Amino acid sequence: MLFLYNLMVQFAGFLLKIIALFSPKMKLFVDGRKVVFPLLEQKIKPTDKTIWFHAASLGEYEQGLPVIEKIKEQFPSHKIVVTFFSPSGYEVRKNNTVADVTVYLPLDTKKNAKQFVKLIHPDLVFFIKYEYWPNYLAELKNSNTKTYLISGILRENQLFFKWYGGFYRDALDAFTYFFVQNETSKKLLQQIGKTNVAVSGDTRFDRVVAILEKDNSLDFISDFKDNTLTIVVGSSWPKDEDLLVNFINSNAFNVKFIIAPHNIKDEQIQQLKNSITKKTVLFSEKEGKQLADFDVFIIDTIGILTKIYSYADIAYVGGGFGNPGVHNILEPATFGVPIVIGPNYSHFAEAIALANLEACVSVNNQKELNEALENLIRNDDIRQEKGHISSTFVQMNKGATAIILKNILND
């Protein structure tokens, strides 16, 4: 099976080069990997001490950030190397300040894995939540490198737990320790003989709790809000926007809306703006405007949604009408905001928990969306109660980073 896997990786590398000719995203994926080894040779000396963190994409990076920051504090003489698999992670966080070197992870071939591990010669390695690359893990095992999975999630439909997944199970032997989010993941690993497992929880809670300690003020959002009840729509997709625009255009409440779409391409932003009949302004055209005069503020930039959530009275988090499902609901939750989402959230434990606690309301259609928002707008007590449950839930689940650090430092 490993032989077939290696053939598939080689074929995928060839195929991606062809796709890159027609796809801007795949071009970033392919071209970004061409400079990895020369950059590492330039940035990492043979005498350097290094620690490597790998994140599949942006969400995993944000999830691992509390651990990266704490490890950096504990090992100040080490260089931090961060790798991404996806352009959607790398392109957004390639200029982060926590890592000394940030690069794409080369495709998982034996040659790439050997060269990569040799160049960065890490003392510690952390894989965040997902992604188990057999050749990289084999190389780390061969070099006796301490390797950890943090905020791991395991599901019984994964290849590890199939009768034909032996080579994939063998790859897990590289891990010194598994820090997983829940008991289900721990039991699944134990079923295949892995006893070096601890349930540490989800480090994302630590990240969002830390947000509260930062300056989240944005003067232009405060000017727009103008002490008016405000609904913040975060990471919305067209299906979300179709329903929300209908509500925005038809409601008669004294309420304002801030929309931060997942996709900020000019054509889609203009289409969204043109569909709204209320007075609407874009972030890119806000200068010189009396923002308090507008009803809807569309954020056609990235990187400020977290701070915007601090101004929300109600949050709608997008993605729940598509696959894989709803986006990050912990950011509004940490600010004590009641949350509305679409129906697809079954893969997200925090969404399931908050829905069960009734701090998060899932809607399936226009009628349910209208009812949910109208109920939250009209009832201060309900809005405050759901918000309080949200913030309490986040506070009660923090602490994963401390558990991970304690185990690693005592290892």
What positions carry a catalytic annotation?
60
* Paired strand residues for 362: 341
Give the Cα separation of 387 and 363 in Å (integer). Answer: 18
* Paired strand residues for 82: 53, 102
Give the Cα separation of 5 and 254 in Å (integer). Answer: 58
Do residues 52 and 138 lie in contact, with contact meaning Cβ atoms separated by under 8 Å?
no
Tell me which DSSP letter residue 269 carries: H
* Paired strand residues for 317: 234
Closest CA to 149 of 196, 107, 184, 110: 196
> In what side-by-side order are the strands of the sheet with 314-317?
280-282, 296-298, 256-261, 230-236, 314-317, 339-341, 360-362
At residue 155, what is the residue type? R
Determine the 3-state secondary structure of 36 from DSSP: helix
Determine the 3-state secondary structure of 216 from DSSP: coil
- Torsion angles phi and psi, residue 171, rounded to 5: -60, -30
Give residue 121's region: left, alpha or beta (phi > 0; psi -120 to 50).
left
CA distances from 285 to 221, 270, 271, 299, 300 (A): 14, 12, 16, 10, 10
| DSSP per-residue string spanning 236-274 | E-HHHHHHHHHHHHH--SS-EEEEEES---HHHHHHHHH
Q: Which helix (H) or strand (E) holds 360?
A: strand 360-362
Determine the 3-state secondary structure of 65 from DSSP: helix
Give residue 256's region: left, alpha or beta (phi > 0; psi -120 to 50).
beta
